[in-house]
Amino acid sequence: MIKIFYRSGSEITFTQSQTEFAAIGKENVLWIDLLEPTGDEKRAVEAFLGTEIQSRAEAEEIESSSRFYEEDGVIFANTNFLSPANDEMVMDPVSFILCGGILTTLREMPLRSLTTLQNKIQALPKLFPNGFTVFVEIMDKRVDLDADIVEIISKETGQMSRRVNQKEDINEEFLLDINQLQENTMIVRENVVDKQRLISNILKSKSMPKDRDIAEDLGVILQDIASLINHTNFAFERLEYLQDTVVGLINLDQNKIMKTFTFISLLLMPATLVASFYGMNVPLPFQGTWWAALAIFVLMAGIAFILWRIFRKSGM
């Protein structure tokens, strides 16, 4: 699907037909949004922009260090948009092409933030004179959504911390939940750092328009990203501390169980020794008397009681 947003007088409207490029004119186009585009749609956009559009497979294969590059005055940028799915984070790759003030986005998944922005563009056309301003708005909204994800992680970490303080369900499954939350935190941090690198490269690009407002807005976004990185670092350190605490509590519980078994074994050991003596097929004291069994039982119970008193006095 293709959506072409272009200026018509004082308004911004859109069309979903690539055949309208000739009638619209390159100077009026603001944003070309490609959602799971067909081959004809991609070829029409490439012919209109005069540059090649990479496929999704090519975008996913690009290393993080090469997600931004320029070619003949055209900026190519690739990043991932995160969205929570159950206990994991799903990454949807999005490609940006900035060519002569026209923004082209290529994606395979519907994104609510872009749908909301499309409505805003038509409602407030004066705020979006070119494709660079649309790109700035996309990055701003995306960083806000990343901040919401970090806030969700912080809330989940707080809930886990309260469960630890109240000693509720402290087991191996709880430990795995903490590990999954750590993994999500690392994914969010990597994704935010990726956007930081992308925006920094755009600010240094020679193709960047000499617009002070755009540069200032991108600078503010970079400050927000730096704050998010600090928050994710703190959340990860908090989760590490929580993980160490849970492991310590599990070890303490296991030590208590082993201590109980050891105490019972030591308590019964002398009685077992006495019983083993009287189980031998040799002449022993008290044999042949009616009170022999009672005497042996009293002896074993007495030894066990004495040991219990010794252990209790020593604080074991």
Report residue 71: phi and psi, to 5°.
-150, 115
DSSP state string for 3-70: EEEEEETTEEEEES-GGGHHHH-GGGEEEEEEES--HHHHHHHHHHHTS----HHHHHHS-GGGSEEE
Q: Measuring CA to CA, which residue among 96, 271, 79, 246 is closest to residue 169?
A: 246
CA distances from 234 to 70, 79, 188, 206, 225 (A): 35, 24, 13, 36, 14
Q: Is residue 127 pLDDT above 80, yes or no?
A: yes
Same domain, 221 and 281: no
> Tens of pLDDT along 168-186?
667 777 778 888 888 888 8
The burial class, CB within 10 Å (0-12 / 13-18 / 19+), for 255 is exposed
Q: What is the pLDDT of residue 9?
A: 82
CA distances from 252 to 54, 115, 228, 247, 259 (A): 56, 52, 36, 9, 10
Same domain, 210 and 302: no
Same domain, 60 and 163: yes
> Tens of pLDDT along 243-294?
887 777 777 777 777 877 777 777 677 777 766 766 666 666 666 666 766 7
Same domain, 241 and 270: no
Same domain, 284 and 218: no
Q: What is the pLDDT of residue 73?
A: 80
> Tens of pLDDT along 39-51?
888 888 888 888 8
Same domain, 309 and 239: no
> Tens of pLDDT along 53-111?
776 655 555 555 567 777 778 888 888 888 777 777 788 888 888 888 888 888 888 88
Q: Is residue 17 pLDDT above 60, yes or no?
A: yes
Same domain, 109 and 135: yes
- Here the CATH number for the domain that contains residue 24 is 3.30.460.20
Q: 169: left (phi > 0), else alpha (psi -120 to 50), else beta?
A: left
pLDDT-derived band at 200 (thresholds 50, 70, 90) equals confident
Same domain, 189 and 309: no
pLDDT-derived band at 203 (thresholds 50, 70, 90) equals confident
- Here the CATH number for the domain that contains residue 301 is 1.20.58
pTM as predicted: 0.75
Same domain, 44 and 66: yes
Structural domain including 10 reads 2-251
Average pLDDT of the chain, as a whole number = 80
Q: What is the pLDDT of residue 285?
A: 65
When divided into structural domains, the chain yields a total of 2
Same domain, 244 and 269: no
Residue 207 near residue 98, CB atoms below 8 Å: yes
Same domain, 146 and 272: no
Residue 58 near residue 131, CB atoms below 8 Å: no
